Amino acid sequence: QKCISEAGVASRRAAETMISAGRVTVNGQTAQLGAQADPETDVICIDGRPLPSRAPKRYIMLNKPRGYVTTMKDEHGRKTVADLVRGCGARVVPVGRLDYNSEGLLLLTNDGDLLNALTHPRHEVEKHYEVRVRGNLENIPKLAEPMEIDGYSIRPATVVTIDRDEISAKLRLTIHEGRNRQIRKMCEKCGLEVRRLKRVAMGTMPLDPHLKSGAWRELTNDEIAYLQDIAADVQENL
Protein backbone atom coordinates (compact mmCIF):
# COMPACT_ATOMS: atom_id res chain seq x y z
CA GLN A 1 0.00 0.00 0.00
CA LYS A 2 2.97 2.30 0.52
CA CYS A 3 4.14 1.74 -3.06
CA ILE A 4 0.66 2.43 -4.42
CA SER A 5 0.34 5.59 -2.34
CA GLU A 6 3.77 6.92 -3.33
CA ALA A 7 2.92 6.33 -6.99
CA GLY A 8 0.06 8.77 -6.51
CA VAL A 9 -2.65 6.22 -7.39
CA ALA A 10 -4.56 6.17 -4.11
CA SER A 11 -4.24 6.73 -0.38
CA ARG A 12 -2.83 3.94 1.77
CA ARG A 13 -6.29 3.19 3.12
CA ALA A 14 -7.75 2.93 -0.38
CA ALA A 15 -4.77 0.77 -1.41
CA GLU A 16 -5.48 -1.60 1.48
CA THR A 17 -9.05 -1.97 0.21
CA MET A 18 -7.72 -2.80 -3.28
CA ILE A 19 -5.34 -5.40 -1.84
CA SER A 20 -8.06 -6.99 0.31
CA ALA A 21 -10.28 -7.21 -2.78
CA GLY A 22 -7.57 -9.14 -4.65
CA ARG A 23 -7.07 -6.40 -7.24
CA VAL A 24 -3.30 -6.08 -6.67
CA THR A 25 -0.62 -8.48 -7.85
CA VAL A 26 3.15 -8.56 -7.34
CA ASN A 27 5.09 -10.44 -10.01
CA GLY A 28 1.87 -12.13 -11.10
CA GLN A 29 0.89 -13.31 -7.61
CA THR A 30 -2.09 -11.87 -5.72
CA ALA A 31 -0.76 -9.51 -3.05
CA GLN A 32 -1.61 -9.83 0.63
CA LEU A 33 -1.80 -7.09 3.24
CA GLY A 34 1.58 -6.72 4.95
CA ALA A 35 3.53 -8.16 2.02
CA GLN A 36 6.73 -6.41 0.93
CA ALA A 37 7.49 -5.15 -2.57
CA ASP A 38 10.10 -2.99 -4.27
CA PRO A 39 8.73 -0.89 -7.16
CA GLU A 40 12.24 -0.74 -8.64
CA THR A 41 12.53 -4.53 -9.07
CA ASP A 42 9.00 -5.97 -8.69
CA VAL A 43 6.10 -5.71 -11.13
CA ILE A 44 3.13 -4.34 -9.21
CA CYS A 45 -0.23 -4.33 -11.01
CA ILE A 46 -3.71 -3.07 -10.15
CA ASP A 47 -6.47 -4.80 -12.10
CA GLY A 48 -3.75 -6.14 -14.39
CA ARG A 49 -2.29 -2.73 -15.17
CA PRO A 50 1.28 -1.95 -14.06
CA LEU A 51 1.71 0.62 -11.34
CA PRO A 52 2.90 3.92 -12.83
CA SER A 53 6.37 5.19 -12.03
CA ARG A 54 6.76 6.61 -8.57
CA ALA A 55 5.63 10.23 -8.47
CA PRO A 56 8.39 12.81 -7.97
CA LYS A 57 8.64 14.02 -4.39
CA ARG A 58 6.84 17.31 -3.80
CA TYR A 59 7.12 19.63 -0.81
CA ILE A 60 4.67 22.50 -0.49
CA MET A 61 4.17 25.40 1.93
CA LEU A 62 0.59 26.64 2.15
CA ASN A 63 -0.65 29.72 3.97
CA LYS A 64 -3.91 28.16 5.12
CA PRO A 65 -6.83 30.58 5.55
CA ARG A 66 -9.61 30.21 8.07
CA GLY A 67 -12.67 28.32 6.87
CA TYR A 68 -10.86 25.29 5.42
CA VAL A 69 -10.47 21.82 6.92
CA THR A 70 -7.09 20.12 6.90
CA THR A 71 -8.07 17.05 4.95
CA MET A 72 -8.16 16.03 1.31
CA LYS A 73 -11.91 15.28 1.33
CA ASP A 74 -14.69 16.31 3.72
CA GLU A 75 -17.88 14.28 4.13
CA HIS A 76 -19.75 17.41 5.20
CA GLY A 77 -18.94 19.27 2.00
CA ARG A 78 -16.73 21.90 3.63
CA LYS A 79 -13.84 23.51 1.76
CA THR A 80 -10.56 21.61 2.17
CA VAL A 81 -6.88 22.40 1.77
CA ALA A 82 -6.96 20.05 -1.23
CA ASP A 83 -9.02 22.72 -3.01
CA LEU A 84 -6.19 25.21 -2.48
CA VAL A 85 -3.35 23.02 -3.83
CA ARG A 86 -5.31 21.27 -6.58
CA GLY A 87 -3.11 22.83 -9.25
CA CYS A 88 0.19 21.58 -7.82
CA GLY A 89 0.27 18.54 -10.12
CA ALA A 90 0.66 15.86 -7.44
CA ARG A 91 -1.36 14.11 -4.76
CA VAL A 92 0.05 15.68 -1.60
CA VAL A 93 -1.24 15.31 1.96
CA PRO A 94 -0.95 17.63 4.98
CA VAL A 95 1.84 17.29 7.54
CA GLY A 96 -0.21 17.48 10.74
CA ARG A 97 -3.29 19.68 10.91
CA LEU A 98 -4.72 23.11 11.52
CA ASP A 99 -8.35 23.25 12.60
CA TYR A 100 -11.14 24.87 10.61
CA ASN A 101 -10.80 28.33 12.22
CA SER A 102 -7.00 28.36 12.41
CA GLU A 103 -4.66 29.71 9.76
CA GLY A 104 -1.03 29.95 8.75
CA LEU A 105 1.80 27.58 7.92
CA LEU A 106 0.81 24.14 6.67
CA LEU A 107 3.19 21.78 4.88
CA LEU A 108 1.98 19.21 2.35
CA THR A 109 3.97 16.43 0.71
CA ASN A 110 3.79 13.08 -1.06
CA ASP A 111 6.98 11.92 0.71
CA GLY A 112 5.55 9.30 3.06
CA ASP A 113 8.77 8.74 5.00
CA LEU A 114 9.18 12.44 5.72
CA LEU A 115 5.51 12.76 6.67
CA ASN A 116 5.73 9.91 9.17
CA ALA A 117 8.92 11.25 10.74
CA LEU A 118 7.63 14.81 11.14
CA THR A 119 4.38 13.66 12.76
CA HIS A 120 5.76 10.85 14.93
CA PRO A 121 4.18 11.34 18.39
CA ARG A 122 7.49 10.95 20.21
CA HIS A 123 9.38 13.45 18.09
CA GLU A 124 7.01 16.10 16.79
CA VAL A 125 8.61 19.33 15.64
CA GLU A 126 8.05 22.47 17.73
CA LYS A 127 5.23 24.61 16.40
CA HIS A 128 5.04 28.38 16.90
CA TYR A 129 1.78 30.32 16.90
CA GLU A 130 0.54 33.85 17.24
CA VAL A 131 -2.64 33.79 19.33
CA ARG A 132 -5.03 36.64 20.10
CA VAL A 133 -6.93 35.94 23.33
CA ARG A 134 -9.57 37.62 25.46
CA GLY A 135 -10.80 36.83 28.97
CA ASN A 136 -8.92 36.53 32.24
CA LEU A 137 -5.58 37.87 31.02
CA GLU A 138 -4.01 37.39 34.47
CA ASN A 139 -4.09 33.65 33.72
CA ILE A 140 -1.76 33.93 30.71
CA PRO A 141 1.27 32.64 32.71
CA LYS A 142 -0.69 29.44 33.45
CA LEU A 143 -0.42 28.51 29.78
CA ALA A 144 3.26 27.73 30.40
CA GLU A 145 2.53 25.39 33.32
CA PRO A 146 2.22 21.57 33.09
CA MET A 147 -1.26 20.71 31.89
CA GLU A 148 -3.41 17.72 31.01
CA ILE A 149 -5.39 17.78 27.77
CA ASP A 150 -7.83 14.95 26.99
CA GLY A 151 -6.11 12.72 29.55
CA TYR A 152 -2.65 13.41 28.11
CA SER A 153 0.06 15.35 29.98
CA ILE A 154 1.46 17.85 27.47
CA ARG A 155 4.93 19.30 27.72
CA PRO A 156 4.96 22.87 29.11
CA ALA A 157 4.50 25.48 26.40
CA THR A 158 6.59 28.61 25.94
CA VAL A 159 4.52 31.79 26.13
CA VAL A 160 5.60 35.34 25.25
CA THR A 161 3.24 38.34 25.36
CA ILE A 162 3.68 40.41 22.18
CA ASP A 163 1.18 43.12 23.05
CA ARG A 164 -1.68 43.62 25.48
CA ASP A 165 -4.46 46.04 26.29
CA GLU A 166 -7.29 45.99 28.84
CA ILE A 167 -9.40 43.36 27.07
CA SER A 168 -7.09 41.25 24.88
CA ALA A 169 -3.53 40.10 24.37
CA LYS A 170 -1.46 38.81 21.47
CA LEU A 171 0.78 35.90 22.42
CA ARG A 172 3.62 33.96 20.83
CA LEU A 173 2.99 30.39 21.93
CA THR A 174 5.25 27.39 21.24
CA ILE A 175 4.05 23.81 21.73
CA HIS A 176 5.78 20.48 21.22
CA GLU A 177 2.82 18.24 20.43
CA GLY A 178 0.07 18.63 17.88
CA ARG A 179 -2.96 17.26 19.66
CA ASN A 180 -6.44 18.05 18.38
CA ARG A 181 -7.32 21.71 19.11
CA GLN A 182 -4.55 21.74 21.71
CA ILE A 183 -4.04 25.50 22.01
CA ARG A 184 -7.76 26.22 22.13
CA LYS A 185 -8.21 23.65 24.90
CA MET A 186 -5.21 25.05 26.82
CA CYS A 187 -6.67 28.54 26.65
CA GLU A 188 -10.11 27.31 27.69
CA LYS A 189 -8.59 25.70 30.79
CA CYS A 190 -7.08 29.07 31.67
CA GLY A 191 -10.27 31.08 31.16
CA LEU A 192 -9.13 32.56 27.87
CA GLU A 193 -11.04 32.77 24.59
CA VAL A 194 -9.06 32.39 21.37
CA ARG A 195 -10.01 35.12 18.92
CA ARG A 196 -7.39 34.32 16.29
CA LEU A 197 -4.88 31.49 15.92
CA LYS A 198 -2.11 31.50 13.33
CA ARG A 199 0.81 29.10 12.95
CA VAL A 200 3.85 31.17 12.08
CA ALA A 201 6.67 28.59 12.11
CA MET A 202 7.56 24.92 12.40
CA GLY A 203 10.91 24.43 14.08
CA THR A 204 13.11 27.16 12.61
CA MET A 205 11.14 27.29 9.34
CA PRO A 206 8.92 30.41 9.29
CA LEU A 207 5.83 31.03 7.22
CA ASP A 208 6.91 32.94 4.11
CA PRO A 209 5.84 36.54 4.84
CA HIS A 210 5.24 37.09 1.12
CA LEU A 211 2.81 34.17 0.84
CA LYS A 212 -0.73 35.50 0.75
CA SER A 213 -3.56 33.73 2.57
CA GLY A 214 -4.68 30.74 0.49
CA ALA A 215 -1.52 30.74 -1.64
CA TRP A 216 1.19 28.06 -1.78
CA ARG A 217 4.71 27.60 -3.08
CA GLU A 218 7.30 24.85 -3.40
CA LEU A 219 9.79 24.58 -0.56
CA THR A 220 13.31 25.70 -1.33
CA ASN A 221 16.17 23.19 -1.39
CA ASP A 222 17.39 24.53 1.96
CA GLU A 223 13.94 24.10 3.51
CA ILE A 224 13.68 20.54 2.20
CA ALA A 225 17.15 19.73 3.52
CA TYR A 226 16.18 21.12 6.93
CA LEU A 227 13.11 18.86 7.12
CA GLN A 228 15.10 15.85 5.91
CA ASP A 229 17.68 16.45 8.65
CA ILE A 230 14.89 16.43 11.24
CA ALA A 231 13.48 13.23 9.76
CA ALA A 232 16.91 11.58 9.84
CA ASP A 233 17.32 12.48 13.52
CA VAL A 234 13.90 11.00 14.28
CA GLN A 235 14.76 7.74 12.54
CA GLU A 236 18.04 7.46 14.45
CA ASN A 237 16.26 7.87 17.79
CA LEU A 238 13.38 5.47 17.21
Using the CB atoms, write b or e for 36-56: b if 16+ within 10 Å. Answer: ebebeeeebebeeeebeeebe
The Cα 127–Cα 32 span in angstroms is 38
With contact defined as beta carbons under 8 Å apart, do 33 and 20 qualify?
yes
Provide the terminal-to-terminal Cα distance of the chain, rounded to the nearest Å: 22
The Cα 123–Cα 235 span in angstroms is 10
Q: Which of 74, 99, 113, 208 is catalytic?
A: 99
Give, in order, the Cα–Cα distances in Å from 124 to each of 84, 96, 148, 186, 228. 25, 10, 18, 18, 14
Which of 229, 38, 206, 209 lies closest to 118 in space, CA to CA?
Answer: 229
74 is known as an active-site residue = no
Query: How many residues are there in the chain?
Result: 238
Dihedral sign for Cα atoms in the order 218, 92, 214, 66: negative
At residue 173, what is the residue type?
L
Which of the residues are catalytic? 99
